[in-house]
Amino acid sequence: MIIAMQAEATTEEIDNVCQRIREFGYMPHVIRGEERTVIAAIGHGDKKEHIEQLKSLNGVENAFPILQPFKLVSREVKKQKSEIRVGDIKIGDGGFVVMAGPCSVEGREQIMTTAAAVAESGARILRGGAYKPRTSPYDFQGLAEEGLKLLAEARERTGLKIITEVLDTEDVEIVREYADILQVGARNMQNFALLKKLGEVTKPIMLKRGLSATIKEFLLSAEYIVTHGNPNVILCERGIRTFETATRNTLDLAAVPLLNELTHLPVIVDPSHATGKRSLVHPLAKATVAVGADGLMVEVHPTPEQAWSDGPQSLRLEEFSKMMDDLNPYIKLRQNEIN
């Protein structure tokens, strides 16, 4: 259930409500908003008599049940959109953040060339997999720590922040050391052991939607990370599997405004994995801005023909630059609205 405190509620009154919530067998989560504090009481039941008793406590304005199965990530609990900070970058503040880079980190020259080019075009965050979830065990699995070191070097050179995937609970420590944002891949969206472990990390987590995950399942996976202690979750719509085979996946653009209704977490779109086709990335990137996403993740490679993974969907450097020329006026417009 949710307990909305009066705007003038004191710390003692808030503490007292938390205490009663615990006595009733729920876990209190205090969310301090700009105007008032809201306390989410998480647990089974939402019993009517508990709600009535909490309503009568000093400093409480109202108490009501949370209707959605996902709680802490829902808009019911927190009306204001969450802003996730990555150094001086904010995701979810109304602006539009572009993440770009190769599918996999393949070597120094490849990652440095890409990093310099995408930074020049206006990307703020460099992507690149060091641990790769490949459908076939015979495919390239990533450079592991060597890849992380190269990403860190690219960050040093360009000022870009870095996002990279963590595949396994065993790798959380090492990826956390290097990455600014830790990515959970589509195939791991319901790896609950990994999600729980990422709840203990303070760095932002970008959770990609599972290959055939419903919106409810997607948000419940985000809820795992948040209930385990890390509120810094970014959602990524990356296409879902449908009967259509002409594209690698089907980009569910409706998911973006729908998620914006259901959750306060920022939402970004990955048109590269959604389509698997280079020619479709630019038009869908434009749609991403229009539909109200908080950002974009795009695969870019200096020579996609020679890429070790996902070449057919990777933009060439000049194609990325052209796409950004198209998007930059809209990105600036959104930025001006915030300032």
Site for ligand PEP, rule CB under 6 A: 103, 129, 133, 185-187, 208, 238, 273
Closer to ligand PEP by CB, 60 or 205: give it: 205
Instruction: Give the CB-side neighbour count of residue 41, counting CA atoms within 13 A.
Output: 28
For residue 76, the minimal CB distance to ligand PEP (Å) is: 28
Instruction: Outline where DSSP puts E strands in the chain.
Output: 2-5, 27-32, 37-42, 60-64, 84-86, 89-91, 97-101, 125-127, 161-165, 181-184, 205-208, 233-237, 267-269, 295-299
Closer to ligand PEP by CB, 39 or 235: give it: 235
Contact yes or no for 207/232 (Cβ under 8 A) = no
Mark the segment that binds Mn ion (CB under 5 A) among 58-66, 77-85, 95-103, 221-229. 95-103
For residue 127, the minimal CB distance to Mn ion (Å) is: 9
Contact yes or no for 149/114 (Cβ under 8 A) = no
Closer to ligand PEP by CB, 50 or 238: give it: 238
Return d(Cα 38, Cα 78) in angstroms, integer.
8
Contact of residue 208 among Mn ion, ligand PEP, none (CB under 5-8 Å per partner type):
ligand PEP
Q: Which residue minimizes CB distance to ligand PEP?
A: 185
Return d(Cα 38, Cα 30) in angstroms, integer.
6
Instruction: Give the CB-side neighbour count of residue 175, counting CA atoms within 13 A.
Output: 30
Closer to Mn ion by CB, 285 or 331: give it: 285
Contact of residue 76 among ligand PEP, Mn ion, none (CB under 5-8 Å per partner type):
none
Closer to Mn ion by CB, 223 or 310: give it: 310
Among 38, 77, 103, 215, binds Mn ion (CB under 5 A): 103
For residue 130, the minimal CB distance to ligand PEP (Å) is: 11
Return d(Cα 93, Cα 109) in angstroms, integer.
34
For residue 269, the minimal CB distance to ligand PEP (Å) is: 11
Distances (CA, A) of 101 to 56, 74, 163, 300: 54, 31, 10, 5
For residue 249, the minimal CB distance to ligand PEP (Å) is: 8
Among 76, 171, 252, 310, binds Mn ion (CB under 5 A): 310
Closer to ligand PEP by CB, 133 or 199: give it: 133
For residue 104, the minimal CB distance to ligand PEP (Å) is: 8
Contact of residue 180 among Mn ion, ligand PEP, none (CB under 5-8 Å per partner type):
none
Sheet holding 2-5, edge to edge: 27-32, 37-42, 2-5, 60-64
Contact yes or no for 201/158 (Cβ under 8 A) = no
Return d(Cα 313, Cα 277) in angstroms, integer.
4
For residue 129, the minimal CB distance to Mn ion (Å) is: 7
The binding site for Mn ion (CB under 5 A) comprises 103, 310
